[in-house]
Structure 1
Amino acid sequence: MPGTFREIRRKVWLILNILVVFWVLLGVLCLRVPPHEFWPAGFVALSLPGALLINVLFLFYWLIKRSWYVVLPLLVIILGWGYYNRLVAFNFSDGKAPEGDKTLQVLSYNVHVFNAYADTDGSARDASSEMINWVAEHPADVYCLQEFYSNRGSSTYNTISRIGNRYDKFRYFSVSYVDRNKADIGIIIFSKYPVVDKGVIRFGESNHNRAIWADINVKGDTIRIYTAHLQSMSIKSQDIENTYSAIGDEVSFKKEGRNLARRLKKGFIARGHQVEKLLEHINESPHPVIVCGDLNDIPSSYTYNQLARKLQNAFVEAGTGVGATYNGPLPFLRIDNQFYSEGLRAYDFTTHYEMGLSDHFPISAKYVLEKE
């Protein structure tokens, strides 16, 4: 009798493992489905990391049981390694470029308007100034900054001067809107190399989200740099706290859950349109490209997947660990990225956890300009 129960239990675990495999396959399939054509695919894709993690747990379970069923989760890991690698990177290079090669270091950072709106009474000014100085003094050749804020009438927030003019950098600033303090807000590219061409990609007439590009001359080679800020998830810390606190209250939990789902759905659809428009422009580029920015989407999303099908990801190729970039209540989210095309190779990647004054952590990558 005990042997019969053991066999039944093993069959149940096998069936559960098979269901997880189908979950992984469905999640991978949904990565390719445009959310604006079938929005539920966005939620299935969002769940893919959970399926991948549970598959690893099954691997350990079958190993402990010394069962040949271990082949099933092992095959998923081998065949789906590219999806695991999006979530956790394993690179242990020394971060040095080959002698004599041309290199380029790029910093990408959502600066959250340098927390200017938290500075109503001047109490946040020192932290904002520290943040601005950190950016200005970073050794990167190119800065791609989202939610950039510049107020010429302020000694603290005159960031164009403090970052650009003082350090003799070329720049291209696309202003999304001007606030009541007459401060400019938008996205910007600073470069120590000359900007030879530039432009903006608008995602809608009234949409503050956009991308800009600049062709820079790096010692005779032209590289096109994009920085993009895609549609926000529009989920605040309070929304998450409200959902957690509503657990146990069925009516409140359903209300808060529907609110989160509605916002996620809206974001999936908007970013799906935006990334397609961005890729249309990238496909026309006559030069190698580096695409930086705040995607507001995780690696298991249509947005990320569309870019990854065309370009290499600097974190995957040269980073280590989880590489979370969201500095908020939801852990392990990597929503800021740098992608790059042929003609370039990432050899070093850093997430700057030492600078935690924004709701995003800065990321920087070093590239070799490969010889033709």
Structure 2
Amino acid sequence: MRFRVGELIAYFFRSLFWSFNLLLVLYTLLAYWLLYKLPIEHWSAGMIMITLPVAWVFNLIVVFFWLATRPWRSWLSGLVLILGVILFGERTFQWHQSTGNAAVSTPSHPVIKVFSYNVGMFNLSDYWARQRSSPPIRRTLNYVLRYDAPIKCFQEFCSSTTLPEYNMVRRFRNAGYEHSVVLYPELLGTDYGDLGVAIFSKYPIIHSGREIFNGRNGLVWANIKVGNDTIRIINVHLHSMGIRVGKVLRQDELTGVKQETRGILSALRFGFMERREQVRKVERHITESEFPVIVTGDHNDTPYSVVYERMRRVLRNSFEAAGSGFGFTYNRLPGFIRIDHQFFDPKHFDALDFETINYVRYSDHYPIMGTYRIK
């Protein structure tokens, strides 16, 4: 009798787990369909798409569970995972070997490097921090100045005249970056200029423009003369994702956890709607350009999103073309996300290398750098 009761309990939980397995598979297939086809761009669809990596993890757990208990049932989640690798594998993980350092630049096919970094205001947003020289801030400023790239793009960029070493606009010009465009040029030369998005170039900028979305979010573009060619660099900073996992984990009481979680979900919902509209403005600047385009910046969206998929349908993603590993770019919890991207026109550029510089931890983002040959 005891044996039969045990059997019934085991059968009940296996049936319950199998039902969960079926629901999980349906959810994962729905995410595949939404991401692959983009039939709707509602914020709720964005929520489903962004959770695709979590669905993969659960499917993998299910596979191992069934292999240990009922091996024949593992095929369903296994097939779903294989389909995910076929459809979305290249935007998740790459094996490319770098060829950028070995590339030879010629007058007919010049090689350019585009460096991009969300510098988090260099930690100068605090008034008292700007009044004294700080070794950590100096290290950050010196790093972005000395990094070897003729085109540098920044998000959350600022400059201050309180101390000569904090006057980053002047220091860039003295370092040979004589050409620049910023989101808020009226703040240049002020005591503290929250300039937002910025491009600095050693090559001549023959024309430029800007478009403010809200606050620090916006885009700047520059038509840059490289030898006999002219290219357009578009630097973007889209609306924040609103993910603050660390604040949730720091809560001591369940009430605080619930409040922070609701705040994150609300911010995600609003962010999906904002970025959906902002990426359309980026697309307009791409299609209106008479020159080949490279887009870089902090897109604040993962490879499983409306923003990424829309950009991917216009341009080629640099990580997919020349990156390696997972390329995670966020230096905070949850950490395992890639939200800083570069995209390029494959008709006019070859991507030779793309690197996430994940040993540089000055900001809550890692720098990214793409190397391209102009065809």
TM-score by length of 2: 0.84
Q: Does 1:306 pair with 2:314?
A: no
SS in 1 for 2:240: coil
Using the TM superposition, give the Cα deviation of residue 53 of structure 1 relative to its aligned residue in structure 2, in angstroms: 2.5
- The one-letter amino acid paired with 1:186 is G
- The one-letter amino acid paired with 1:162 is R
Deviates more, 1:286-295 or 1:54-63: 54-63
Which of the residues 185, 203, 212 maps onto 2:220?
Answer: 212
Distance 1:159 1:128 in 2: 12
Q: Specify the alignment match of 1:278 in structure 2.
A: 282
Give unpaired runs (5+ residues) of structure 2: none
- The one-letter amino acid paired with 1:40 is S
C-alpha distance 50-159 of structure 1, shift in aligned 2 (>3 A): same
RMSD, matched Cα: 3.0
Distance 1:188 1:13 in 2: 52
Q: Does 1:173 pair with 2:178?
A: no
Q: Does 1:192 pair with 2:202?
A: yes
Distance 1:227 1:110 in 2: 11
SS in 2 for 1:183: strand
Using the TM superposition, give the Cα deviation of residue 189 of structure 1 relative to its aligned residue in structure 2, in angstroms: 0.8
Distance 2:16 2:70 in 1: 16
SS in 2 for 1:149: strand
Distance 2:149 2:306 in 1: 30
Using the TM superposition, give the Cα deviation of residue 232 of structure 1 relative to its aligned residue in structure 2, in angstroms: 1.7
Count of residues in correspondence between the two structures? 362
Residue correspondence of structure 1 range 127-146 to structure 2 within 5 A? 127-146=136-155
Distance 2:240 2:185 in 1: 15
- The one-letter amino acid paired with 1:365 is G
Which of the residues 320, 324, 333 maps onto 2:324?
Answer: 320
Cα contact 1:355–1:361 (8 A) shared by 2: yes
TM-score by length of 1: 0.85
Q: Specify the alignment match of 2:28 in structure 1.
A: 24
Distance 2:133 2:319 in 1: 32
Which of the residues 267, 273, 278 maps onto 2:271?
Answer: 267
- The one-letter amino acid paired with 2:363 is S
Q: Write out per-residue CA displacement over residues 73-104 of structure 1, whole angstroms, 9 at most, x where no aligned residue.
A: 45434433342332332223454555554211
Q: Specify the alignment match of 1:106 in structure 2.
A: 114
Distance 2:128 2:39 in 1: 44
Distance 1:344 1:64 in 2: 49
Give unpaired runs (5+ residues) of structure 1: none
C-alpha distance 176-186 of structure 1, shift in aligned 2 (>3 A): farther
Using the TM superposition, give the Cα deviation of residue 140 of structure 1 relative to its aligned residue in structure 2, in angstroms: 1.1
Q: Specify the alignment match of 1:244 in structure 2.
A: 249
Cα contact 1:115–1:124 (8 A) shared by 2: no
Cα contact 2:91–2:320 (8 A) shared by 1: yes
- The one-letter amino acid paired with 1:154 is L
- The one-letter amino acid paired with 1:356 is R
